[in-house]
């Protein structure tokens, strides 16, 4: 396994032993809290309702008055820190972002939409070019639906960070990672019915157990992240071994190999931690951006592999009929 993969894994594991941050320098500062108290007193009827009609974007995305005050005071605090030669502070464990059209993290929203669009376009291409009689056609169709659902909720979550949208984002991200491993295991053992039953039962059991714990609140962000990484590394290892064994037999196998390699490298962006560029682009949004061009690689593999399996499947049937 490449050295960067091990470095990445060790750093992520280490992060899981760091206690969750209740507050950050920004939201614990005196200037922020004074501003927050004054803003709420001047602009809010209560924590939810405004004294004056807010902009339409805030109404559509259901911004509360206390949340709008928090956003306003965030920038007053940032200006104060910068004007006094201090580093840009975080607020509640997050960097400050410029709000656009009511969206909290506009770059991540945009790149999540682009990922959704890329999956949608390639899924349409897959349905046209791959025959439905191929053994893996409906398995990959299921994977595509899982990914479309995942990127939809990613866009929603980055638009408005609420407990519900956060749970949906984390659960859907986990389902995408686990489903890709599930599909690759089925591809490797597609002729073995017993393996299909065992793998499917294991997949359903892990998915349901993890999602129930995630929704109950017994799994935190760090635990969910490390589990995603471990499943991703398991997928990487299994897939690369499969590629190595079949690289001469299957001319298109290099597609899944490069998809896995580049996925690992772009995920290293998640290790970066810096204030958003232009208050919009942070490491997480750049990671979302970097996954968009990888999607065609995966679908090209899916289409080529379905074509190969269809030909191989019909050839096997002809051989059986000929022997009979």
**Banded pLDDT at 159 (limits 50, 70, 90):** very high
Q: What is the mean pLDDT of residues 249-259?
A: 94
Residue 210's H or E segment, with its range, is helix 193-216
Residue 280 has pLDDT above 60, yes or no: yes
Interval 198-247: pLDDT, tens: 999 999 998 998 888 877 776 676 777 788 888 999 999 999 999 999 99
Q: What is the mean pLDDT of the chain?
A: 86
Pairwise CA distance, residues 321 & 250, whole Å: 26
Q: What is the DSSP string of 214-271?
A: HHHT-S-HHHHHHHHHHHHHHHHHHHHHHHHHHTTT-TTTHHHHHHHHHHHHHHGGGG
Q: What is the mean pLDDT of residues 79-89?
A: 91
For 274: left if phi > 0, alpha if psi spans -120 to 50, otherwise beta; the answer is beta
What's residue 315's pLDDT? Answer: 57
**Banded pLDDT at 13 (limits 50, 70, 90):** very low
Q: What is the mean pLDDT of residues 259-285?
A: 89
Which whole-number Å values give the CA distances from 249 to 243, 246, 253, in the listed order?
Answer: 10, 5, 9
What's residue 316's pLDDT? Answer: 54
Pairwise CA distance, residues 47 & 69, whole Å: 10
């Amino acid at each position: 396994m490449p050295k960067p993969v091990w470095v990445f894994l060790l750093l992520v594991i280490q992060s899981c032993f760091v206690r969750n941050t209740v507050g950050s320098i920004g939201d614990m500062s005196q200037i922020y809290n004074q501003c927050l108290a004054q803003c709420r007193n001047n602009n809010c009827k209560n924590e939810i309702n405004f004294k004056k009609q807010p902009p339409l974007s805030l109404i559509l995305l259901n911004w509360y008055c206390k949340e709008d005050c928090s956003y306003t005071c965030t920038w007053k605090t940032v200006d104060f820190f910068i004007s006094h030669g201090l580093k840009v502070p975080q607020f509640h464990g997050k960097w400050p972002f410029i709000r656009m059209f009511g969206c909290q993290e506009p770059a991540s929203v945009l790149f999540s939409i682009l990922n959704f669009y890329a999956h949608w376009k390639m899924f349409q291409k897959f349905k046209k070019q791959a025959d439905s009689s191929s053994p893996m056609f409906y398995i990959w169709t299921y994977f595509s639906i899982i990914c479309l659902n995942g990127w939809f909720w990613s866009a929603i979550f980055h638009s408005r960070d609420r407990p519900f949208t956060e749970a949906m984002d984390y659960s859907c991200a986990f389902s995408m990672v686990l489903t890709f491993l599930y599909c690759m295991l089925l591809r490797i053992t597609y002729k073995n019915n017993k393996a299909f039953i065992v793998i499917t039962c294991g997949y359903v059991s892990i998915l349901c157990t993890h999602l129930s714990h995630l929704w109950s609140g017994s799994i935190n962000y760090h635990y969910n992240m490390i589990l995603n990484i471990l499943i991703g590394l398991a997928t990487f290892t299994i897939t690369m071994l499969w590629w190595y064994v079949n690289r001469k037999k299957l001319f298109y196998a290099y597609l899944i190999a490069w998809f896995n390699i580049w996925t690992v490298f772009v995920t290293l962006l998640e290790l970066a931690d810096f204030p958003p560029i232009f208050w919009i682009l942070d490491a997480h949004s750049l990671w979302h951006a970097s996954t968009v061009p990888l999607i065609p690689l995966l679908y090209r593999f899916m289409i080529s592999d379905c074509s190969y399996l269809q030909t191989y499947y019909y050839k096997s049937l002809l051989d059986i009929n000929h022997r009979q």
